[in-house]
Amino acid sequence: MTESSEPGPDSNPFEAWSEQYAQDGVVVLKRVLDADAMRFVEAAWAWSYGRKSPNLQDFSAREDEEFIADTGYSLREPVYRDLLAATPIADIARGLFGGKSPAWFMGEQVFMKQGPSGTRRTPWHQDTPYGNFEGPKLVAIWIPLDPLPREGSLEVVRGSHRGKTYNGSRFEPGDDTAPLYPDSALPRIPDIESERDQWDIVGSALEPGDLMAFHIGCLHAGGGTPPGRRRRSLVVRFLGDDVVWIERDETPHPNSSVARRAAAAKALGKPSAPLPPLGEAVWRSGRFAQVRPWVEP
């Protein structure tokens, strides 16, 4: 596990972890967001949580459990412009990419877990099977808003972004490895939780101001919450100049969050955007705003 509270003296101090990030696909950074930065994080999380979108995913396993994730691209909203312009979050992404590539904002995701009887674990999965792109310079920056013990925090399998791409989990209660795509050449996700000693799992207790950054191709999961406790987290994702479009034409299971989001978009009359040429750099599509160096969206 890679931790630090005192980055080096480089112009972008987070470049100090770029080699480790390229190798492991994950770094744990302690005390890198000060109180002012965390106020921006809190404001962004509260804005998104208070305006739930058709992209909302409900992963709850019981009626008394709240386990939701909501995804957006809210850079034009003042709370997200401030978050990315005034905090080092985007600098962290660019530093982990090695400092040469710009960083483009891919969007945000807010999570909430709470319930009087506690909440389930987040199943092991990779983010890449849910999208149409891949490349070394991809990062999700996972920021907790509440203190978390090691067993309730995010976990990542070290180096798994350099291995197989598995079929996505559809987060089915009672079967964490239930495949996202019923008909796919992608292999089913292993039952990592039942064989934890066979995997190199990175995790840490975290406090507000700490964060974990991981390549979205890494296998990752998260702890549940005990009764009466909550876990709020904000994820912001970025890409660099070597990420390209790939083909992903499998049909998701109709009871998956991916299928439900597609149905919600269709009901709202949102057409599916055509995929740019396969193999083309994603940043050239103009779908994502460059935030380091900052380019006005």
Q: What is the pLDDT of residue 148?
A: 98
- How many of the other CB atoms lie within 10 Å of CB of 49? 15
Q: Percent of the chain at pLDDT above 90? A: 86
4: pLDDT strictly greater than 60: no
What is the rounded average pLDDT of the residues 18-43? Answer: 98
168: pLDDT strictly greater than 80: yes
- When pLDDT is cut at 50, 70 and 90, the band that residue 8 belongs to is very low
Mean pLDDT check: name the lowest of 175-189, 242-256, 269-283.
Answer: 269-283
Helix (H) and strand (E) counts in the chain: 5, 14
Contact 211, 156 (CB under 8 A): no
7: pLDDT strictly greater than 70: no
What is the rounded average pLDDT of the residues 107-133? Answer: 97
What is the rounded average pLDDT of the residues 100-105? Answer: 98
Mean pLDDT check: name the lowest of 2-6, 25-29, 101-105.
Answer: 2-6
Q: For the chain, percent helix, then strand, then coil, each to nearest 5? A: 25, 25, 50
pTM greater than 0.75 (yes/no): yes
272: pLDDT strictly greater than 80: no
CATH number of 13-290: 2.60.120.620
Mean pLDDT score across all residues of the chain:
93
Torsion of CA 125, 203, 240, 87, to 10 degrees: 130
10: pLDDT strictly greater than 90: no
